[in-house]
Structure formats: structure tokens, C-alpha cells
Structure 1
């Protein structure tokens, strides 16, 4: 239990670009990068890791992962879309992210969707996911400890089992997300 709490404390779940963090004025690319760097700095694995770069944002724009910017400035909606892309790209391919966000982009560009309201819903789900994760992590730590209790190298074996279990859980979630993406693609092609 203590091990799970220690891991959770180090993970900086609170790091996110909240709507109230986004200025009411449009931002240049350097300002967007600075906003993400400041909001996600605690979640970096290594200090020199980049959260977002000009190249990444330009590639997202060229790949049409978000609707076109005006006068090289990014609106609040663009920043919320970039935040969604940032979160999704760690588990999905860029093509999958594009497919998932395509309808949202079109509706947001046409002002047919209150993107801030949608984004708030996402943040609320994210908070619930954090609580579910914390409970599941406690269970996985306890089970790994139980499985290795009688072993001479219990601590190392427990860590390896826990890492393998977490990777497996991550893969299950990623594969479930990919199945949903495939269903979206199939529905779009029908």
C-alpha cells in the first residue's frame, strides 16, 4: 500500500491544461509551448524532456489534427485540441488520433460544438480515471507482493511482476481504445 501511494505521489496527476489556464487571447506558437511546458513540467520523466515542440505542433497542423489557425495564432479551442492530441498520442498512432478528433474538429471549426464544455467533460472523466487507477494500483501492488512473499529475492521479483502487470494493463486499455477507433473508422466508411 505504501509503495502504491509513493508511486501515485510522484506521478503528478494534477498536471493538465485547464480552461482557466488558457488566456482569453490567441497565442503564438512559442506561447503555446510555454503554456504546456509550465503545466506539464512536473510530469516529465527526465528534466530535458520536451512536452511540445514547434515541429510537433506544425506536424499536427500539416496532418490536419486540428482545424487551421488564423494569422499564426492559436485560439483557446486550438489549445484544448492540442491538449487532447498530447494525451492521446502516447497510446494511439497519429492517424488514429486524427480519426478520433476529425468530427470534433469539424464541429469546433463551424462553431457547432462548445469545445470548452466538451473539454471540461474530458477533464472530469480524467479525474475519475485517476481515482480508478489509484485503487487498481493498490490491488496490483498487493497481488505482486503476495505472489513473491516466499521468494528469496522478493523485492526485485515483486518490482518486475508489478512492472509487467502495469504494462499488461496499459496494453489492455490501449487495445480497447484501438478497437473503438476501428469502430469509428468502420462507421465513417459506411
Structure 2
């Protein structure tokens, strides 16, 4: 089994550089019905799917988010720009955090900044947070390249026919450990919100 991690990483980095977030100005200036929300999210986040048949957000998911207090309820069955921004946060968090953790993280934001008017709201928070992410891609790429190089130095004494797989396994383990530690840190930070 031969795996060319260099080509694979280049392809993944090309995909990363093509990813973009939903800009508030991309969201229509009118409130949307559920079908419009799911269509909008599917269209704008389709590049983040692992498999083409994966659903970004379904009606059931959105209804459950509102029912579980992750998302403020719609007004007359319509969702505002702020709803869309909160849904985007939920979308990115849901693959990493539990519903309880997402609720603990978003509830203070929605309680204080959702539909409050004034000079500072959900849209300002969203813009600030997402503005940080582009700079993080270069750091992420460097970190991943370093982990890839480290993994290529492992299993030098393994049988040649197994070496590529074992080095790939080593690379995945390094990435998984990094993810596990960051996830644990995020959970501890969320737990500290109750303190």
C-alpha cells in the first residue's frame, strides 16, 4: 500500500484555501423561511461536506437547535440574519462539541447580543471571530507539514511493504492527538464558563 502523503496534503491544502465562510453580507436582507434557510446553507457550505450526499442542515436539526435553546426561536416561522449567523456557528461546532457544550457556549451570546440592537451584536461577534481564521490557515499548514515530516521518520525498521501504511497511521495518530488535546482544552474552557 503506497500512500503519497505529499500529494494528498497538497490537494487538502488546495481545498482549504478554497473554503470560505458565510459573510454576513451574503445573507439576504429579508427573513427566511425554513426551506430557504436550508437551501442557503447547503449552497454556501457545500464545500465543507465530506461526502456529496451529506446534509449541511436539515429542518429537523434546526428545529432541535431551537428546541434545545441553541438557537433563538424564529419569529413567525422566519429566520433572521442573526439566526443564520448562529446556525453557522452551530454548524462548525457540531462536529466537535456536544449539544450541551454548544448550548453553554452560545447561550450567553444569544441572551446578550441577539436582537438587542445598538452598536454591538451577533453580526459584530461573527465578523470578528471569522476574521481571525484566514491567518490561522498558514499556521495550520505549517503544523500539518511538520507532523507529516515527523511521521515519515517513523517505522524505518518496519517491513517495507508495511512502512507506508504505518507512517500514515503515525501521521493520523499525531493529528488525532493534537485534535484530542485541543478538544479537551475547549471543553475545559466551556466548563469554566459556569464558574
Do they superpose with TM above 0.5? Answer: yes
The structural deviation recorded for 1:149 is 4.3
Q: 1:167 and 2:173 equivalent? A: no
Superimposed CA distance per residue, residues 114-154 of structure 1 (whole angstroms, 9 cap, x where no aligned partner): 22111011111222332221111110111101223454132
Partner of 1:111: 117
The structural deviation recorded for 1:2 is 4.5
Which residue, 123, 129, 137 being the options, matches 1:130?
Answer: 137
Q: 1:38 and 2:43 equivalent? A: yes
Partner of 1:7: 12
Q: 1:21 and 2:26 equivalent? A: yes
Which residue, 59, 63, 73 being the options, matches 1:58?
Answer: 63
Partner of 1:139: 146
The structural deviation recorded for 1:23 is 0.6
- Name the count of aligned residue pairs: 186
Q: 1:178 and 2:187 equivalent? A: yes
The structural deviation recorded for 1:102 is 1.1
Distance 1:28 1:164 in 2: 43
Task: Report the TM-score when normalising by structure 2.
Answer: 0.88
Q: Secondary structure at the match of 1:109?
A: coil
Deviation >4 Å, runs of 4+: none
Distance 1:174 1:8 in 2: 22
Distance 1:42 1:70 in 2: 30
Distance 2:7 2:131 in 1: 27
Task: Report the TM-score when normalising by structure 1.
Answer: 0.90
Which consecutive unaligned segments of at least 5 residues does structure 2 have?
A: 1-5
C-alpha RMSD over aligned residues:
1.7
Distance 1:58 1:85 in 2: 13
